[in-house]
Copies of this chain bind each other. A is one copy, B any other.
C-alpha cells in the first residue's frame, strides 16, 4: 500500500469499478514489489478479488501495465499540449508546460515511476503506442523551444539536447519526490519553470 493519494483523475468513473480497482491494485503492487516480481494473484488479492475475476477484465499483468502506461503517457501528453494551446509567447507556453509536467510527476510519482521505468516490460505493440506518445511529448517541447529561438526569446546550443533536458528534469521528479518533500507539487513546478527558462537562455 502506498501512502500516496492517487490523483483524482486517475481512471475516472466510466469503466467498470472492478477494472478501476484492479488498475489501482496493480499500481500499488508494481510500485512496492517491482513489475517482474508481481503476480496476477498479488494484484487480484490487493483488489479483493479472485484471479479468475481479474481475468474477466485483463488477460495478463502485461495488459494491466500497458493500460497504466498508455494512460499515464496520454495524460502527460494532454497536459503538455494543453499548456501549449493555452497560448502566449513561447516563454509563457514553456513555463506552463514545465509547471504542469513537473507537478504531474510529483503528485503522481508512484504511477510516474511505473510509467517511466517499466517500458521494457511492455508487449511490443503496446510499446509502439507508448513510444509514439513519448515522441509527441518530446516534439511538443522541441517545437516550443524552436518557436522561442525563432522569436529571439531562447538561445540554445542544441535543441534536441535542450528538449531532452526539459523532459528529463520533470520525469526524474517521480524518482525522488515523496509526500515528505518540503515543496508542494505546484511550488516545485514553479521553481522548475524558472530554472528551465534560464536554461533555455531566456532573458532574466
Please list the residues of chain A having a beta carbon within 8 angstroms of any beta carbon in chain B. Answer: 33-37, 116-117, 157-158, 161-162, 164-165, 168-169, 171-173, 175-176, 183, 188, 191-192, 194-196, 198-201, 204
Q: Known A36-B37, A201-B198, A204-B201; judge A117-B162 contact (CB<8 A).
A: no
Q: Decide if B195 touches A165 in the complex (CB within 8 Å).
A: yes
Name 16 extra pairs, CB < 8 A, besides A36-B37, A158-B191.
A34-B35, A37-B37, A161-B192, A161-B195, A164-B176, A168-B168, A168-B169, A168-B176, A169-B169, A169-B172, A171-B172, A171-B175, A195-B199, A196-B199, A198-B199, A199-B199
Contact among B36, B37, B158, B195 for A162, CB-based, below 8 A = B195
Contact among B191, B198, B199, B201 for A161, CB-based, below 8 A = B191
Contact among B34, B117, B169, B199 for A175, CB-based, below 8 A = B117
- In the A-B complex, the 3 residue pairs with the smallest Cβ-Cβ separation, listed nearest first, are A36-B37, A172-B172, A34-B36
Closest to A134 in B: B176
Contacts of A199 in B (CB 8 A): 195-196, 198-199
Separation of A35 and B36 alpha carbons in the complex (Å) = 9
**A and B contact pairs by CB, cutoff 8 A, 5 listed:** A117-B175, A157-B191, A161-B191, A168-B172, A198-B200
Q: Decide if B34 touches A194 in the complex (CB within 8 Å).
A: no
- Measured between C-beta atoms, what is the minimum distance from A189 to chain B in Å? 11
- Measured between C-beta atoms, what is the minimum distance from A171 to chain B in Å? 6
Contacts of A175 in B (CB 8 A): 116-117, 168, 171-172
Separation of A168 and B7 alpha carbons in the complex (Å) = 24
Q: Decide if A165 touches B161 in the complex (CB within 8 Å).
A: no
Contacts of A34 in B (CB 8 A): 34-37
